[in-house]
């Protein structure tokens, strides 16, 4: 369970480092410092891109686009229930952006951890095709 939480946390950090409602994110930093720090902006952007490729490739291979949509729909339904019960207020745009980051990171975290989740639920292990 801790490994799944760590994968989700890494996905959240990747998304939040790219963009969030605070001034401390890659998009705002790169737009502000484009002229002075272009090499560092390109390097850090490539590091973020590599992170996205790892997460998206693993997620697409494990749960596919349909699974991604299903996890996102489940999170959206949960948010709808919380809003309907009055436990969630959607007036704050910054909070809504954080909720979106959490939702997307849950999709990526589940995708990266799907083999572990499936094994815990079903007791069956799955393996990728291995060329021998």
What confidence tier does 131 reach under pLDDT thresholds 50, 70, 90?
A: very low
- Give the three-state DSSP class for 126: coil
Separation of first and last alpha carbons in the chain: 32
69 CB neighbour count, 10 Å cutoff: 12
Q: Which residue has the higher pLDDT, 70 or 130?
A: 70
What pLDDT is attached to residue 83? 94
Mean pLDDT throughout 69-83?
A: 95
Sign of the alpha-carbon torsion through 27, 31, 33, 34 = positive
CA atoms within a 13 Å half-sphere pointing along the CA-CB vector of 127? 3
Contact of 19 with 27, CB cutoff 8 Å: yes
Whether the predicted pLDDT of 129 surpasses 80? no
What pLDDT is attached to residue 126? 58
Which residues have a Cβ under 8 Å from the Cβ of 41 and sit 6 or more positions away? 29, 30, 33, 34
pTM: 0.84
Please name which of 46, 55, 70 lies closest in space to residue 105, comparing C-alpha atoms: 55
What whole-number percentage of the chain has pLDDT above 70? 93
What pLDDT is attached to residue 128? 53
What confidence tier does 123 reach under pLDDT thresholds 50, 70, 90?
A: confident
Q: Which residue has the higher pLDDT, 128 or 91?
A: 91
DSSP code of 23?
A: S
Radius of gyration for the alpha carbons in the chain, expressed in angstroms and rounded: 17
What pLDDT is attached to residue 2? 87
Tens of pLDDT, residues 2-30? 888 999 999 999 999 999 999 999 999 99
CA atoms within a 13 Å half-sphere pointing along the CA-CB vector of 125? 2
């Amino acid at each position: 369970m801790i490994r799944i939480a760590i994968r989700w946390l890494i996905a959240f950090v990747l998304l939040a480092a790219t963009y969030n409602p605070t001034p401390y994110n890659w998009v705002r930093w790169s737009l502000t410092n484009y002229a002075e720090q272009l090499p560092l902006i390109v390097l850090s952007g490539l590091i973020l891109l590599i992170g996205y490729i790892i997460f998206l490739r693993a997620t697409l291979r494990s749960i596919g686009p349909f699974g991604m949509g299903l996890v996102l729909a489940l999170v959206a339904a949960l948010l709808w229930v919380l809003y309907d019960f009055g436990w969630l207020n959607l007036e704050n745009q910054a909070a809504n952006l954080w909720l979106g980051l959490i939702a997307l990171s849950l999709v990526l975290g589940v995708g990266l951890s799907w083999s572990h989740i499936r094994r815990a639920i079903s007791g069956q292990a799955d393996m990728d095709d291995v060329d021998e």
